[in-house]
Amino acid sequence: MRIGITCYPTYGGSGVVATELGIELASLGHEVHFISYSQPFRLNGRDTGIFYHEVPVSNYPLFEFPPYDLALASRMAEVADFYELDLLHVHYAIPHSVSALLARQMVAEKGRRLPFVTTLHGTDITLVGLDRGYLPITRYAIQESDGVTSISQYLKDKTLIDFNVTRHIEVVPNFVNCDVYQPINDEEKRAEGRARFARPDEKILMHLSNFRPVKRVQDVVKVFAKVASQVPAQLVLVGDGPDRSAAEWLAHDLQIQGRIHFLGKQERVNELLPLADLMIMPSELESFGLAALEAMACKVPSIATRVGGVPELIDNGVTGLLFPVGAVEDMASGAIGLLKDPERLNEMRGMARKMAQKRFCSTLVLPQYVRFYESLLG
C-alpha cells in the first residue's frame, strides 16, 4: 500500500506514534509518505520506503494567522495525486481530519477515491476538541472519516459520549518495537551507562514528557525530593516544554538541583530508559501513557496516576503502581518501598517487560492497522 501520514512532528505522543507507525509500515514493505510542516523528529533518514513532503504556508500580510489547515489539505491532495496514494492516515483530529476531508473531496473531482483514517490520541478530544469553538468541526470531521481509531478504550468511550458520534471507533493501542526498546542485559554495559548520571550505590528515577502542565513535572520533582531523602538517588528528566523552568526553580528551592539531570529533547530515548530503576508519570490525564509503555519494554516499572487509559496499560501492583493525581506523598512512599525491596522490584521489572511483549509489541499491533486499512480499501 501507499500510505500518507500526517501528524504534529514535534515532541509529543501522537507524533511519536505516527512516526513509529510509518517506520514499521515501511519495514513491512509499504510505501509511506509523511506530510507535515516539518520532518517528524524521530525520522532520521535511515529507513527505506519513507518519504517526507513539507507543507509550505504563506506568510501573506493579509493573514494574521497563516492558514495551515488549507495548505495542508492542498499538499495532501497533491501528494496523493502524484504518488497515487491508497489512503491517508491522520493523527490528532484538529486540524488534520478536516484537511484530509478537503483533500478527499479535491481528489474525488479527478475520479479517484482517497479514504482517510483518523486516529484520536487524547487532548484532541479531551481538551482542544471540547472547546466550543472547535467541537462542531471536530465532531463533523470524525463522523466524515472513512475510519476512526482510538488509542484506548477510555478515549473511545469519552469520544462517543462527549461528541455524540455514531461512527464506529476501533481501539488500536499504542505500541512499541520490543527489539528497539529492550533492557540492557550486559550488566557491565548497563553500569557504564548509569555512571553518566549516578554512582553505583544510587538509584535512577526517570521522567519523559513534553513538559506541558498536564504532565505535572513539578510533582515529579516533589516525589523525587522525598525519595532522595531516604534513598540515594538521581533524577533524569528527558524532554522539554513550558514547565521546564518551573521544575528547575522548584529543584533549586528544594536544594536538590545537583541531583537532577535535565537532558532536554532526546532522539534515542531507547538508550536512556533501560538505565532507569523507575519511571515517574504523575500526569493529570493520560489517554494511554506511551512513556510508561516504552519504559515497560525496557524492564522499567512506573509510578503513575490512575487516570484515563493508564489502568489499561499498567496492572497496579504487578507492572507498576498507580495513585490518585497529586498524591505526592503516596507516590514517593510507593517508590521508596520498591527501591528498598530489590526482590519485589526485580519481579515487577520482569512482569513489565513481559506485559509489553504480550500485548503491545509492534509485531502484534501493526497487523491490526494493516487489517483496518485493507477493510477500508476493500
- Predicted confidence at residue 292, as pLDDT, reads 97
> Residue 127, SS3?
coil
**Domain 2-175+361-377 superfamily per CATH:** Glycogen Phosphorylase B; (3.40.50.2000)
Mean pLDDT of the chain: 92
- Predicted confidence at residue 307, as pLDDT, reads 96
Alpha-helical (H) ranges within 185-280 are 187-194, 217-228, 244-253
- Predicted confidence at residue 38, as pLDDT, reads 87
Strands annotated E in 230-353 = 233-238, 260-264, 278-281, 302-305, 320-323
Whole-angstrom Cα distance, residue 293 to residue 309? Answer: 12
Same fold, 2-175+361-377 and 187-360: yes
Whole-angstrom Cα distance, residue 139 to residue 160? Answer: 10
For the CA atoms of 313, 319, 320, 325, what is the dihedral angle to 10 degrees?
20
Sign of the Cα pseudo-torsion (186, 188, 194, 200, in order): positive
On whether the CB atoms of residues 5 and 33 are closer than 8 A, the answer is yes
Which residues of the chain fall short of a pLDDT of 70?
A: 11, 45-46, 124, 126-131
- Predicted confidence at residue 11, as pLDDT, reads 64
For the CA atoms of 335, 336, 340, 341, what is the dihedral angle to 10 degrees?
-40
On whether the CB atoms of residues 154 and 312 are closer than 8 A, the answer is yes
Whole-angstrom Cα distance, residue 178 to residue 110? Answer: 42
Q: What is the pLDDT of residues 245-255, one digit of tens each?
A: 999 999 999 99
- Predicted confidence at residue 214, as pLDDT, reads 92
- Predicted confidence at residue 126, as pLDDT, reads 67
Whole-angstrom Cα distance, residue 153 to residue 159? Answer: 10
The three three-digit cell numbers of residue 36, written as one number: 507535515
- What residue ranges do the domains of the chain occupy? 2-175+361-377, 187-360
Whole-angstrom Cα distance, residue 98 to residue 144? Answer: 9
Distance of CA 369 to the CA centre of its chain: 17
* CA nearest to 308, candidates 11, 13, 98, 6: 13
The DSSP annotation for 162-174 comes to HH---S-EEE---
The counts of H helices and E strands in the chain are 14, 13
Whole-angstrom Cα distance, residue 203 to residue 161? Answer: 43
How do beta strands 203-208 and 278-281 pair? parallel
Whole-angstrom Cα distance, residue 314 to residue 312? Answer: 6
Q: Which helix (H) or strand (E) holds 2?
A: strand 2-6
Q: Does domain 187-360 have CATH number 3.40.50.720?
A: no
The three three-digit cell numbers of residue 323, written as one number: 495513585
Whole-angstrom Cα distance, residue 122 to residue 359? Answer: 20
